[in-house]
């Protein structure tokens, strides 16, 4: 059975540009982490219920793969999709930590959508898959497109490839589960200071390596300060020269030669 890789990502920078209802609009540079990925495959089964096999702490209904299945089923009304999931489960070999700001759940969902599209010959374009993926989570479209690096804006639905050499990154994830909604709520209540159009353009055109060399974790990521406020134990894991991914709890840096 073919194995599909669901890669992790880091946010080189993440800046808030405004609000859209309950959501925060962002500009962020997503970069793939080449040596950190989950492995997904379809596994024959006898039970007709939806099955996901892997090291997950959530219920099946909360799992992003199940949400991706439901979104794909609603979008396509595909009988072959329902048949596939009656006869096969999804095997997931987890390597990306959960609640870590590395996009593991979003990457799994995106990879599942691409698996179904390929195996069932659904003929959906990447853009169509990204629209379906957005119903599952804001980060899913980035993983659908499969870019090495991209500027991601809006609430995650605008993904523009950024051409640069892929950085060789290492990550460190403390044993600390961080709630993304809690961090964003704290940002809005205590730190809200969106950047302007000129600053946004400067971030969009800067090379990732230059951001990492010239900015601290706090300067590059608007969610670092609220994460520290809500999870004060995070401070003990922060080391100079490391950056903060998403809403955390992971830190990353370019590997030392």
Query: Which positions are annotated as active-site residues?
Result: 9, 139
Distance, in Å, from the CA atom of 72 to the CA atom of 66, rounded to the nearest integer, reads: 10
CA of 242: how far to CAs of 83, 163, 166, in Å? Answer: 47, 23, 18
Burial of 229 (0-12, 13-18, 19+ CB in 10 A): middle
Long-range contacts, 125-128 (Cβ 8 Å, 24+):
128/75
* 124 and 93 Cβ atoms separated by less than 8 Å: no
Q: How far apart, in Å, do the first and last CA atoms of the chain sit?
A: 37
DSSP state of 43: E
């Amino acid at each position: 059975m073919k194995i599909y890789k669901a890669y992790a990502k880091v946010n080189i920078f993440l800046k808030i540009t405004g609000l859209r209802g309950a959501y925060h609009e962002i500009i962020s540079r997503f970069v793939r982490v080449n040596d950190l990925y989950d492995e997904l495959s379809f596994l024959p089964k006898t039970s007709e219920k939806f099955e996901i096999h892997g090291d997950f702490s959530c219920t099946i209904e909360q799992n992003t793969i199940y949400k991706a299945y439901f979104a794909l089923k609603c979008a396509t009304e595909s009988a072959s999709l329902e048949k596939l999931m009656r006869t096969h489960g999804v095997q997931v070999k987890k390597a990306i930590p959960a609640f870590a700001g590395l996009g593991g759940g979003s990457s799994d969902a995106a990879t599942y959508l691409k698996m179904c599209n390929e195996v069932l010959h659904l003929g959906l374009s990447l853009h169509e898959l990204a629209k379906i993926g957005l119903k599952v989570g804001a980060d899913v479209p980035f993983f659908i497109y499969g870019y090495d690096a991209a500027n991601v804006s809006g609430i995650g639905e605008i993904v523009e490839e950024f051409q640069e050499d892929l950085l060789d990154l290492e990550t460190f994830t403390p044993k600390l589960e961080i709630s993304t909604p809690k961090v964003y709520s704290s940002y809005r209540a205590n730190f809200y200071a969106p950047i302007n159009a000129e600053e946004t353009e400067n971030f969009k055109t800067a090379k990732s390596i230059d951001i990492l060399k010239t900015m601290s974790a706090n300067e590059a990521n608007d969610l670092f300060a609220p994460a520290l406020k809500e999870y004060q134990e995070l401070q003990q894991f922060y080391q100079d020269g490391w950056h903060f991914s998403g809403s955390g709890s992971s830190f990353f840096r370019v590997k030392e030669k």
